[in-house]
Structure 1
Amino acid sequence: MSEPVKGAKKLSSANSPTNAISFLVERMLAGTLNTCTLVRVDEVDPSPAAPRVAVTPLVPQIDGEGNTLPPQPIYDVPYSRVQGGVAALIIDPVPGDIGIALFAQRDISTVKLTKSAGQPGSLRTFDQGDALYVGWVLNQTPTVFLELTQDGKAKLVAPGGFTVDCDMHVTGAVTTDSTITAAGDVLGTGISLSTHTHICAAPGDPTSAPQ
């Protein structure tokens, strides 16, 4: 036999007209006005066209007797990236991440579908169905990161490797604690490392500079 459903009413809720009105207003706000809360990421769909997550609130509701009401997952939640136009910094969330969910003032289902202005899909307001996942907090210590410090330095840590898919121009000096390997040629002041020549020198004499 299942347990009876307990409401949020307390023993003092009906002791006076003031308490009754206070209880009514509190229930109306609690039931219809979601602002923001901490959530756990359960599932991630990183589709470029419409990245989404499923999340579960971490702070549950309680009934009038102090019993915990298990929070339910929220699905189809858009999540944010640092992006402007076609330029983006892509760091997708993973299951287990903790972040912030905001709840829109009006129904955003039409905008989620069309990515353009449109009438709200319903009259609901501040509803969990209109959640947006916008941040990452209280998470594990990162092992892959870009650190920018106030002393003007930048540090990139990437144990799995770092790939640059572009032409690169460096204005400062480049040093390395390891080797440099090039599949193509290397030029120094216009002289090829692979095909340069030297003027012949007598045996034992220093060679000339590369031509």
Structure 2
Amino acid sequence: MKGSPVPVSSVPHTTAARAPQRGQARKRPRGNAVTSEPTRERILSAAAQLFAEQGFARASMPAIASLSGITAGAIYRHFESKAELLLEVVKRALRVLPLSFEEGNGENDATMLPEVAARLTDPTLKLLRQLSLEVHAAARRDPEVSKLLVEYDETARRKIRALIEMAQQARKRRVTRDTEATARILMVFLMGLNHMDTLHPHLVGDRAWREFVASHVAALVGM
């Protein structure tokens, strides 16, 4: 797909027009946060579109750069590799959920877990579901994607486990002693919801299904 979300002439000039050769480390300069952040957002938006339309393997960095309105080499000022870019796209899409699974945030409300699962049934989150499936498919073929995905999964699972333990302590009742296994089950359950558009499209946006999902997650984590 050709074209750019913004005119190319409006993009600040950059001297980093050449992508590093294979085997060379790609170092991203700090740059100016005022000008680089909008460019980064354009890259993420373009990448999300192309990853969803073409898949990880077919969507090229030059094509993503072109749609972003920057040069192919300049994209490496913001992302070291296509694998890193894919994971950042998914993380960005996940931020529409009421609870973040990323490291270092202050959210600790376990009651949000059922709502997270329920939101994944929303028709407006089709792109998020597509991207989540794409990153798992890419991880089967790309070692770098696999490594980054495993790291993110471990971070998310640790947070879910901590939330489950907090919920059980607050209610002074323990539904399960194996909170690690419960966190893993919940992660698998959330991943399964991403297949709805393909396997069960009639459930997307269905209110009864949404309530069913939320109630079963609440029961699973002891709420």
Q: TM-score range by the shorter chain?
A: under 0.3
* Alignment TM-score, normalising by the size of structure 2: 0.21
* Alignment TM-score, normalising by the size of structure 1: 0.21
If each structure's helix is expressed as a fraction of its own residues, which one has the higher value? 2
In our comparison, the structure showing a higher alpha carbon Rg is 1
- With a CA cutoff of 8 Å and minimum separation of 6, indicate the structure with the bigger relative contact order: 2
If each structure's strand is expressed as a fraction of its own residues, which one has the higher value? 1
